[in-house]
C-alpha cells in the first residue's frame, strides 16, 4: 500500500501535472456524468417523497379512509360510520385544488379568462372542532383556547400555511380570495406553523371549515372523503372488509397510502425514463476515464517496463493504475456532487413543473440533500472510475518487463479474427435485442424493452472498432488526393482501440439523441394530428381551477343553457369526468354529449367510424374507451365493463377503442345522459362550444365572456392547441437537457482522445514538420481526424438511434403509457442536429490540434 | 553571387531550464558549400542536434543569423520555414521516425505529397528512390515489418526523394549495429556522390568520419574545425 502511494506520488501525480488539459477534461467529464446522475436521482426522489409525504401528512393519523372517487360520498354516511363499534373517530374531509390570491391592494383583480389565477394551493375542508385527533396543527401565534375556538367558528375565516402567507404576502387579519366553483372572500384567521401537514407541498395549503368548503366547491351534502381512526386493538384488514360491505355501491374503504398509488405509478414511469437518460451521461463518462487511463498506460510503457525490471510486481502495477483511476474518480465525484446539487435544483423545478402539468398537483422547492445523496455521488463516481480504470490497469500489469523497449515504434495491431469476433458478437446481440422486444410485447411489460435498448447500445460499442478501421481505410482510399484527409485517416488508424472507444461513446450519445429526436418528433407529430382531428370545437370553457392538475372542480349544468343561448353558438357539448375506483385502481369515467360529438367532433377509433360508433354507443348505452385504458387493463372492443355506481354495478359494453394522448391513465366515456342516470351527477367539468358557420368568433367570445361565470376560463381552439404544444415542449425540455450533457461529455472524450493521440504521435508530428508540413497542415490533419471521428460516430449513432427509437416508440412507451405513436423520421431537423455534432467535435479538436501544431519541432524529434 | 549553401554567423542558442540557462551553442560561425560531406562530432549533449536543427530551419537561434542558400531564415514565418524544409532539406533521424501506419512506399512518397506533386510523378520518383536504397521489393511493407537497417534506408530514401540540396543526418547510425551502420553510411556516401547534395552528419562515434570531406567538432556548444 505504502509503496503504491509513494509511486503514485512520484509518477502519476507528476505525469498528471504535465497534462493538465487532458486531466481537466477528464475530470469535468466524470463530474458531469456524476452530477447529472445524482441531480436526476435527487430531483426524482425529492418529488416522489414530497408527493408521498404530503399524502401521509394530510392523512395524519387516519388509518382507513372512505371515498367514492370524484362523485364523493353522502355526508350522512359519517353518522352511520360513527355508530360502528370498531371505529373511534370519523372525520369529514373535502380536498380540492383552488386558486388563491390576496384581496387587498391594487393587484387584486382577477385576470379574466386566464388559466392561471394566482397561486394554486391545496384546500382542505375539515371539521375544525373535531379534527384534532387526525391532524395536528399549530398556529404561529399563541392563542388561548377560547381565542382559537372563536377563530375556528368564524365562517368567513380560513387558515393558511406559511407557504401561502409568503407567496401572497398576507398575514393574520388580511383578506384573501379563493376561487373554485365559486369565488369567495375570506379573512385569514391564523397562519399555521410549518410542521406536519402544514409543511407538505411547500406550505401551499389552506384549511377551512367543512361547511364553507362544501359551499366553495358546490358540493352540498357531499364529502370527498371520510377519514377513520379505529378503536385500539382492532385488526385493520378485517375491519376494512367489514366496512366495505357496509358501504353503498361505488364507495370504497382503503388505507390512505393507496390513494396516491395510481399517480405514483405514472410518476415512476416518467422518472425511470429520466434516470435511464442520466445513466447515459455517466456511461459516456466511463468511456472517458477508460480512454484517459489506457492512453496513460500506453504512453508509459517504458516506465512500466522500468518499474517491472526494478521488481514491482504485476499486482503492484494494477494497484498503481487502479489507484490513479480512483483518484480521478474521487476528484471527479467531488466536483460532480457539488455540480449535482446545483443541477438538482434546476432539474427539480423542471420535473415538478412537468408533474404539475401532466400528473398531479405538486409544490416542492428544495432538493432533499443529505449524507445519503453524498454517498451515492461518491459511490457512483468511484465505482465508475474503478470499473473503467481496471481494464487499462490490468493491461499495464500484463506487459512484460522487456516489451516496453521492444515495441517502441509499433502500431497497435488488430487481428482480423478479433474484428470478426466483434462483428459477429455485435450481430448476435442485435438479434438478442430484437428477441427481447418480442418478449416485452408478448409479456406486456416494458422491462425487456429497456434491456433491449441496453443491448443495442452494447452492440453499437462492439461495432465501433470495425467502424473505425473501415472508416479510416475508406477515407484513405477515397480521399487519398487530399493530403490532410489522408493524414487524418492515418492518424485514426494509429490507435484504433482508443479511437474506437471515443467513437462508441460519441456514437452512443448520438444514438440517444437521434432516438429522442425521433421519439419526441414522432410523438409531437402524432399528437398534432390527434389534436387537429379531435379538437374541433371553436371554444372550450372550464372552471379555472380545472387547470390545476388533479383538480376536481366542476360547474353546474346550467352553463349549457346559458352558453347555448348566446347568439352564434350552434352547439354545446357538456363534458363530465369523474374518478371511479375500479379493479383496485382509479379510472376516469367521462360523460360527453355523443350526439354532438358524432355530428361535429371526431374521435380516432382504432377501427370503426367515429360517427357510427358514437351513435351506436349513445342509443344502446355503450361506452368508448381510450387506447391507454384498453392497453392498461387489457380491454377490447366488445368486452363488458362492470362499473361501480351509486345504484349498484352498471355493466357497460365497449363499443370502440380510440386514440388518446392525455396522461390521465385512460378514460371510459359514456353518453352524459347515461352518466347522469346511473351516477346521479349532473355537473360539468368542461364544455366544448361549436359556433354557427357564419358567426364571428371574436364577437361570440365577447358575448360568452359576458354571460359566463367569472370563475370560468374560455379558451379558443387555437389557444388550447398552443397550450398542448407548450406543455409538450416543457415536458421534453429536461430530456433534451440531459441528452445534451451526454453529448457534451462525449465531446470531451473526443478532445481528450485526440490529445492522447497527439501525445503519442509527437515524433511523427515532428518528422512531418521537419519534412516541411507547416502548422496549419498539422492543425488541419488533426481536426480532420476529429471530423472523420465525428462523422463516423454520427453514422453509427444514427443507425443505432433509429433502432433505439423503434424500441422506445413501439415497446417502451407503448407498454409504459399505452400510447400508439406514428414512427416519423424528420430528415431535416435530424440532419441539422447531426451536423452540429460533427461541427462540435471539430470544435473539440481545435485546442488539441493547436497544441500539436505548436510543439517545437526539435522537442518533437528528440527522444526524451 | 556565390553564396555558401549554409552559413551561420555568430549563432548562439540558449535554453531556459527553470532558473538555469543552458548554452547549447555559443557564438558559432560556420559555412558549408555545395557538395560537402561534413561530420559533426562531439559527446552527447554537446549541441550537435541543436546545430543541425538551426541549419534545417526547424529551430531559431537565440542570437546570430542563419542563411540557407543566401536567404536569412531565422526570422521567417512558419509558412516560410516550412517551405524551405519542404524544398531544400532532407532529414535523417537517429530513431528513423517513420509513419507506422503508412507503407514503405507511402513513407517515401510523403515529402512529394507535401509538395503537392502529381500522382504519376510521385510514383515514378518514389519507385526510383526505393530502387536506389535497394528496397523495391518492400514497397508494400509496413515499417514494423522491417529491420532497423531497412528502416533507416527507408528514411534515407525519404530524405533524398525530393532532391534537396541539404541532407541533415542526426546520428543516423546511433541506433544500428555496426553492419547496418556501415551499409547506411555507404548508401549515404554513394547518393552524395551521385546527386551532389551537401551532407551534414552528427555523430558521436568514429565510423562516419572516413566518408567526410570535412570534419568539425563541437564541445560544450563551441565549434572547432578539423577534428
Ligand atoms: N528543450 C531543451 N531545454 C533545455 N535544454 C535543452 C533542450 N534541448 C537541448 N537542451 C540542452 O542543450 C544541450 C545540447 O543539446 P543537443 O543539441 O541535443 O546535444 P547533442 O545532440 O549533441 O546530444 C544539452 O545540454 C541539452 O541538455
Ligand atoms: Mg542529439
Domains of chain B, earliest start first: 35-49+80-225 (3.40.50.300)
Dihedral sign for Cα atoms in the order A159, A163, A164, A166? positive
Q: What radius of gyration do chain A's Cα atoms show?
A: 33
Mean pLDDT across B105-134: 93
Burial profile A482-517: b = 16 or more Cβ within 10 angstroms, e = fewer? ebbbbbbbbbbbbbbbbbbbbbbbbbbbbbbbbbbb
Cα separation, A744 vs A285, whole angstroms: 10
Among the bound ligands, the one closest to the CA of B53: 1
- Rounded to the nearest angstrom, the distance between the alpha carbon of A80 and the centre of ligand 2 is 104
Q: Which atom of ligand 1 is nearest to B52's Cα?
A: 17
Let me know if A437 is exposed, middle or buried by CB neighbors in 10 A (0-12, 13-18, 19+). Answer: buried
- Would residue B221 be called left, alpha or beta, if left means φ above 0 and alpha means ψ between -120 and 50 degrees? left
Neighbours of A619 (CB within 10 A): 11
pLDDT of the residue at A545: 80
Minimal-distance CA residue of chain A relative to B119: A481
Site from A473, A861, A862, A863 to mutate, B interface, most B CB atoms within 10 angstroms = A861
**Closest protein CA for atom 16 of ligand 1:** B47
pTM for this entry: 0.84
Q: For chain A, what are the domain ranges?
A: 1-59+279-407, 64-254, 536-723
Q: Is A483 an interface residue toward B (CB < 8 Å)?
A: yes
Q: Is A490 an interface residue toward B (CB < 8 Å)?
A: yes
Cα distances (angstroms) measured from residue A217 to each of A102, A128, A220 = 19, 18, 8
Grid cell, residue A53, equals 409525504
Cα separation, B96 vs B118, whole angstroms: 26
- Bridge partners for A90 per DSSP: A228
Query: What length does chain B have?
Result: 227
Nearest to A212 by CA among A128, A90, A103: A128
Cα distances (angstroms) measured from residue A412 to each of A392, A404, A409, A493 = 15, 13, 10, 9
- Nearest CB to B79; choose among A770, A774, A862: A774
**Which value does ipTM take for this structure?**
0.91
Cα distances (angstroms) measured from residue B22 to each of A854, B19, B220 = 22, 10, 10
Average pLDDT across each block of 10 residues of chain A; the chain has 864 residues. List them in order. 66 70 86 92 89 84 87 89 89 90 59 67 87 80 76 83 88 88 86 84 88 86 91 86 87 82 79 85 85 79 76 82 86 92 90 84 83 88 88 81 48 76 93 93 88 93 92 84 84 84 90 90 89 88 82 86 90 90 85 91 88 92 92 90 89 93 82 92 91 90 86 88 88 87 88 84 90 92 91 94 93 85 87 91 90 88 73
B171: which chain A residues are within 8 Å (Cβ-Cβ)?
none
Contacts of A556-559 with C-beta under 8 Å, sequence gap 24+, read: A556/A181, A556/A218, A556/A682, A556/A683, A556/A684, A557/A682, A557/A683, A557/A684, A559/A684, A559/A687, A559/A708, A559/A709, A559/A712
Cβ pair B92, B152 in contact under 8 A: yes
pLDDT tens-place string over residues B172-219: 998 899 999 999 999 999 999 999 999 999 998 888 899 999 999 999
Please report the DSSP string for A556-614 in residue order: -THHHHHHHTSTTEEEEEEEEEEEEEETTEEEEEEEE-HHHHHHT----BSSS-HHHHH
* Beta strand ranges found along A664-705 (DSSP E): 667-671, 686-691
Q: Is the pLDDT of residue B122 over 60?
A: yes
Let me know if A778 is exposed, middle or buried by CB neighbors in 10 A (0-12, 13-18, 19+). Answer: buried
Which residues are CB-neighbours of A10 under 8 A, at least 6 positions away? none
Neighbours of B4 (CB within 10 A): 17
Q: What's the gap in Å between the CA of A835 and the closest CA on chain B?
A: 29
**Pocket perturbation via mutation, ligand 1, pick of B19, B24, B41, B201 by most ligand atoms within 8 A of CB:** B24
**CA neighbours closer than 13 Å in the CB half-sphere of residue B125:** 22
Cα separation, A541 vs A715, whole angstroms: 6
pLDDT of the residue at A408: 45
Cα separation, B65 vs A613, whole angstroms: 97
Cα distances (angstroms) measured from residue A446 to each of A14, A351, A434 = 49, 22, 14
Q: Which atom of ligand 1 is nearest to B218's Cα?
A: 22
Task: Answer yes or no: is the C-beta of B221 below 6 A from any ligand 1 atom.
Answer: no
Say yes or no for a CB contact (<8 Å) between A858 and B84.
no
Neighbours of A221 (CB within 10 A): 9
Cα separation, A410 vs A767, whole angstroms: 16
Q: Is A718 an interface residue toward B (CB < 8 Å)?
A: no
- Nearest CB to B97; choose among A481, A491, A767: A767
CA A6, chain centre distance (Å)? 47
Grid cell, residue A664, equals 390521465
- Nearest CB to A493; choose among B84, B97, B101: B101
Minimal-distance CA residue of chain A relative to B148: A409
Task: Answer yes or no: is the C-beta of B54 below 6 A from any ligand 1 atom.
Answer: no
A499: which chain B residues are within 8 Å (Cβ-Cβ)?
none
Task: Answer yes or no: is the C-beta of B50 below 6 A from any ligand 1 atom.
Answer: yes
- Nearest CB to A772; choose among B83, B94, B144: B83
Cα separation, A496 vs A100, whole angstroms: 64
* Beta strand ranges found along B36-182 (DSSP E): 37-41, 63-68, 71-72, 89-92, 166-170
Q: What's the gap in Å between the CA of A864 and the closest CA on chain B?
A: 12
Mean pLDDT across B53-82: 90
pLDDT of the residue at A713: 85
Say yes or no for a CB contact (<8 Å) between A764 and B99.
yes
- Bridge partners for A579 per DSSP: A588
Minimal-distance CA residue of chain A relative to B158: A771
- Rounded to the nearest angstrom, the distance between the alpha carbon of B46 and the centre of ligand 2 is 8
**CA neighbours closer than 13 Å in the CB half-sphere of residue A801:** 27
Size of the A and B interface in Cβ pairs below 8 Å: 96
Task: Answer yes or no: is the C-beta of B48 below 6 A from any ligand 1 atom.
Answer: yes
Neighbours of A10 (CB within 10 A): 10
Q: What's the gap in Å between the CA of B142 and the closest CA on chain A?
A: 10
DSSP H or E segment with residue A178:
strand A175-179
B93: which chain A residues are within 8 Å (Cβ-Cβ)?
767, 770, 861
Cα separation, A235 vs A845, whole angstroms: 69
Cα distances (angstroms) measured from residue B225 to each of A145, A401, B104, B218, B219 = 113, 44, 38, 9, 11
Cα separation, A397 vs A395, whole angstroms: 5
Task: Answer yes or no: is the C-beta of B44 below 6 A from any ligand 1 atom.
Answer: yes
Question: The sheet that has B198-203: what strands, in order across it?
Answer: B89-92, B166-170, B198-203, B37-41, B214-219, B222-225
Say yes or no for a CB contact (<8 Å) between A776 and B79.
yes
pLDDT of the residue at A31: 92
- Nearest CB to B59; choose among A410, A764, A858: A858
Cβ pair A648, A249 in contact under 8 A: yes
Q: Which atom of ligand 1 is nearest to B221's Cα?
A: 14
DSSP H or E segment with residue B30:
strand B20-32
Neighbours of A554 (CB within 10 A): 25
pLDDT of the residue at A593: 93
Nearest to A660 by CA among A705, A638, A629: A629
Q: What's the gap in Å between the CA of A278 and the closest CA on chain B?
A: 38
A486: which chain B residues are within 8 Å (Cβ-Cβ)?
113
Dihedral sign for Cα atoms in the order A787, A790, A794, A800? positive
Q: What's the gap in Å between the CA of A323 and the closest CA on chain B?
A: 31
- Rounded to the nearest angstrom, the distance between the alpha carbon of B49 and the centre of ligand 2 is 4
Please calculate the CA angle A775-A778-A781 and round it to the nearest 5 degrees: 150
Higher pLDDT, B38 or A730: B38
Three-state secondary structure call for residue A464: helix
Site from A477, A770, A773, A788 to mutate, B interface, most B CB atoms within 10 angstroms = A770
Amino acid at each position: 500500500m505504502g509503496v503504491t502511494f509513494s509511486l503514485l506520488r512520484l509518477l502519476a501525480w507528476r505525469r498528471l501535472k504535465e497534462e493538465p488539459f487532458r486531466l481537466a477534461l477528464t475530470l469535468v467529464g466524470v463530474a458531469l456524468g456524476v452530477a447529472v446522475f445524482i441531480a436526476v436521482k435527487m430531483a426524482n426522489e425529492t418529488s416522489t417523497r414530497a408527493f408521498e409525504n404530503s399524502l401521509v401528512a394530510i392523512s395524519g393519523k387516519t388509518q382507513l379512509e372512505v371515498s367514492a372517487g370524484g362523485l364523493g360520498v353522502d355526508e350522512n354516511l359519517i353518522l352511520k360510520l360513527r355508530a360502528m363499534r370498531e371505529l373511534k373517530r370519523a372525520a369529514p374531509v373535502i380536498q380540492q385544488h383552488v386558486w388563491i390570491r390576496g384581496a387587498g391592494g391594487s393587484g387584486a383583480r382577477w385576470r379574466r379568462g386566464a388559466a392561471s389565477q394566482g397561486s394554486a394551493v391545496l384546500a382542505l375542508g375539515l371539521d375544525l372542532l373535531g379534527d384534532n385527533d387526525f391532524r395536528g396543527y399549530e398556529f404561529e401565534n399563541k392563542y388561548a383556547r377560547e381565542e382559537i375556538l372563536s377563530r375556528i367558528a368564524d365562517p368567513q375565516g380560513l387558515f393558511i400555511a406559511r407557504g401561502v402567507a409568503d407567496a401572497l404576502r398576507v398575514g393574520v387579519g388580511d383578506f384573501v380570495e379563493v376561487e373554485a366553483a365559486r369565488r369567495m372572500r375570506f379573512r385569514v384567521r391564523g397562519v399555521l406553523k410549518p410542521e406536519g401537514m402544514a409543511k407538505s407541498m411547500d406550505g401551499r395549503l389552506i384549511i377551512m371549515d367543512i361547511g364553507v368548503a362544501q359551499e366553495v366547491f358546490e358540493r352540498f351534502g357531499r364529502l370527498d372523503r371520510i377519514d377513520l381512526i379505529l378503536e385500539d386493538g382492532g385488526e385493520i384488514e378485517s375491519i376494512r372488509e367489514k366496512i366495505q360491505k357496509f358501504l353503498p355501491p361505488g364507495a370504497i374503504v382503503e388505507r390512505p397510502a393507496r390513494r396516491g398509488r395510481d399517480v405514483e405509478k405514472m410518476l415512476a414511469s416518467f422518472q425511470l425514463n429520466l434516470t435511464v437518460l442520466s445513466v447515459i451521461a455517466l456511461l459516456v463518462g466511463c468511456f472517458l476515464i477508460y480512454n484517459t487511463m489506457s492512453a496513460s498506460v500506453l504512453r508509459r510503457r517504458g516506465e512500466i517496463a522500468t518499474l517491472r525490471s526494478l521488481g514491482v510486481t504485476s499486482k503492484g502495477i494494477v494497484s498503481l493504475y487502479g489507484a490513479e483511476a480512483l483518484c480521478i474518480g474521487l476528484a471527479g465525484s467531488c466536483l460532480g456532487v457539488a455540480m449535482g446539487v446545483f443541477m438538482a435544483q434546476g432539474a427539480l423545478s423542471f420535473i415538478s413543473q412537468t408533474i404539475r402539468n401532466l400528473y398531479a398537483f405538486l409544490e416542492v422547492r428544495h432538493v432533499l440533500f443529505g449524507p445519503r445523496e453524498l454517498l451515492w455521488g461518491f459511490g457512483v463516481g468511484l465505482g465508475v472510475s474503478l470499473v473503467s480504470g481496471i481494464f487499462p490497469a490490468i493491461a499495464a500489469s500484463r506487459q512484460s518487463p522487456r516489451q516496453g523497449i521492444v515495441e517502441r515504434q509499433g502500431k497497435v495491431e488488430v487481428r482480423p479474427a478479433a474484428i470478426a469476433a466483434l462483428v459477429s458478437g455485435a450481430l448476435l446481440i442485435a438479434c438478442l435485442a430484437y428477441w427481447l422486444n418480442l418478449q416485452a410485447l408478448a409479456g406486456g411489460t416494458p422491462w425487456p424493452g429497456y434491456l433491449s435498448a441496453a443491448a443495442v447500445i452494447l452492440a453499437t460499442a462492439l461495432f465501433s472498432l470495425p467502424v473505425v478501421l473501415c472508416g479510416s481505410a475508406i477515407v484513405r482510399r477515397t480521399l487519398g488526393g487530399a493530403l490532410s484527409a489522408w493524414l487524418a485517416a492515418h492518424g485514426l488508424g494509429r490507435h484504433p482501440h482508443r479511437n474506437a472507444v471515443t467513437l462508441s461513446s460519441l456514437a452512443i450519445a448520438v444514438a440517444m439523441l437521434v432516438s429522442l429526436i425521433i421519439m419526441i418528433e414522432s410523438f409531437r407529430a402524432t399528437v398534432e394530428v390527434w389534436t387537429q382531428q379531435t379538437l374541433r370545437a371553436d371554444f372550450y370553457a372550464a372552471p379555472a381551477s380545472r387547470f390545476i392538475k388533479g383538480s376536481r372542480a366542476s360547474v353546474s349544468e346550467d352553463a349549457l343553457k346559458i352558453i347555448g343561448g348566446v347568439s352564434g353558438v350552434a352547439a354545446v357539448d357538456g363534458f363530465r369526468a369523474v374518478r371511479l375506483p375500479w379493479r383496485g385502481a382509479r379510472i376516469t369515467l367521462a360523460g360527453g354529449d355523443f350526439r354532438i360529438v358524432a355530428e361535429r367532433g371526431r374521435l380516432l377509433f382504432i377501427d370503426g367510424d367515429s360517427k357510427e360508433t358514437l351513435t351506436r354507443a349513445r342509443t344502446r348505452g355503450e361506452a368508448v374507451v381510450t387506447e391507454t385504458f384498453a392497453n392498461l387493463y387489457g380491454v377490447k372492443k366488445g368486452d363488458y365493463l362492470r362499473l361501480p355506481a351509486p345504484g349498484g354495478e352498471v355493466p357497460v359494453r365497449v363499443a370502440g377503442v380510440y386514440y388518446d394522448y392525455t396522461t390521465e391513465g385512460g378514460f371510459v366515456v359514456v353518453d352524459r345522459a347515461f352518466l347522469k342516470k346511473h351516477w346521479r351527477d349532473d355537473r360539468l367539468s368542461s364544455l366544448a362550444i361549436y359556433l354557427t358557420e357564419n358567426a364571428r368568433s371574436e364577437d361570440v367570445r365577447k358575448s360568452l365572456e359576458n354571460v359566463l361565470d367569472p370563475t370560468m376560463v374560455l379558451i379558443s381552439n387555437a389557444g388550447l392547441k398552443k397550450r398542448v404544444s407548450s406543455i409538450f415542449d416543457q415536458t421534453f425540455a429536461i430530456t433534451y437537457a440531459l441528452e445534451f450533457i451526454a453529448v457534451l461529455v462525449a465531446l470531451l472524450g473526443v478532445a481528450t482522445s485526440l490529445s492522447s493521440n497527439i501525445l503519442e504521435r509527437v515524433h511523427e508530428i515532428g518528422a512531418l514538420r521537419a519534412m516541411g508540413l507547416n502548422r496549419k497542415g498539422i492543425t488541419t490533419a488533426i481536426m480532420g481526424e476529429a471530423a472523420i471521428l465525428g462523422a463516423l460516430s454520427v453514422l453509427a449513432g444514427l443507425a443505432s438511434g433509429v433502432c433505439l427509437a423503434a424500441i422506445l416508440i413501439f415497446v417502451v412507451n407503448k407498454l409504459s403509457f399505452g400510447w400508439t405513436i406514428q414512427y416519423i423520421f424528420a430528415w431535416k431537423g435530424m440532419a441539422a442536429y447531426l451536423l452540429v455534432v460533427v461541427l462540435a467535435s471539430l470544435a473539440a479538436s481545435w485546442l488539441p490540434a493547436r497544441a500539436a501544431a505548436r510543439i517545437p519541432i526539435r522537442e518533437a524529434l528528440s527522444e526524451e | 553571387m556565390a553564396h555558401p549553401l549554409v552559413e551561420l554567423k555568430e549563432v548562439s542558442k540558449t535554453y531556459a531550464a527553470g532558473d538555469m540557462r543552458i548554452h547549447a551553442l555559443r557564438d558559432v560561425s560556420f559555412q558549408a558549400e555545395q557538395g560537402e560531406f561534413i561530420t559533426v562530432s562531439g559527446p552527447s549533449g554537446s549541441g550537435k542536434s541543436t546545430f543541425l536543427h538551426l541549419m534545417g530551419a526547424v529551430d531559431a537561434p537565440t542570437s546570430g543569423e542563419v542563411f540557407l542558400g543566401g536567404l536569412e531564415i531565422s526570422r521567417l514565418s512558419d509558412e516560410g520555414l516550412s517551405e524551405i524544409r519542404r524544398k531544400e532539406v532532407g532529414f535523417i533521424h537517429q530513431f528513423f521516425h517513420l509513419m507506422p501506419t503508412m507503407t514503405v512506399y507511402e513513407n517515401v512518397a510523403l515529402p512529394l505529397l507535401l509538395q503537392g506533386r502529381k500522382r504519376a510523378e510521385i510514383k515514378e520518383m518514389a519507385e526510383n528512390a526505393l530502387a536506389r536504397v535497394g528496397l523495391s521489393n518492400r514497397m508494400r511493407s509496413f515499417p514494423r515489418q522491417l529491420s532497423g537497417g531497412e528502416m533507416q534506408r527507408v528514411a534515407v530514401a525519404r530524405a533524398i526523394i525530393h532532391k534537396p540540396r541539404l541532407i541533415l543526418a542526426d546520428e543516423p547510425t546511433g541506433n544500428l549495429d555496426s553492419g547496418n551502420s556501415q551499409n547506411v553510411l555507404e548508401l549515404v556516401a554513394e547518393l552524395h556522390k551521385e546527386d551532389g547534395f551537401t551532407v551534414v552528419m552528427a555523430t558521436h562515434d568514429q565510423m562516419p568520419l572516413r566518408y567526410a570531406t570535412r570534419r568539425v567538432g563541437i564541445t560544450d556548444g563551441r565549434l572547432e574545425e578539423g577534428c
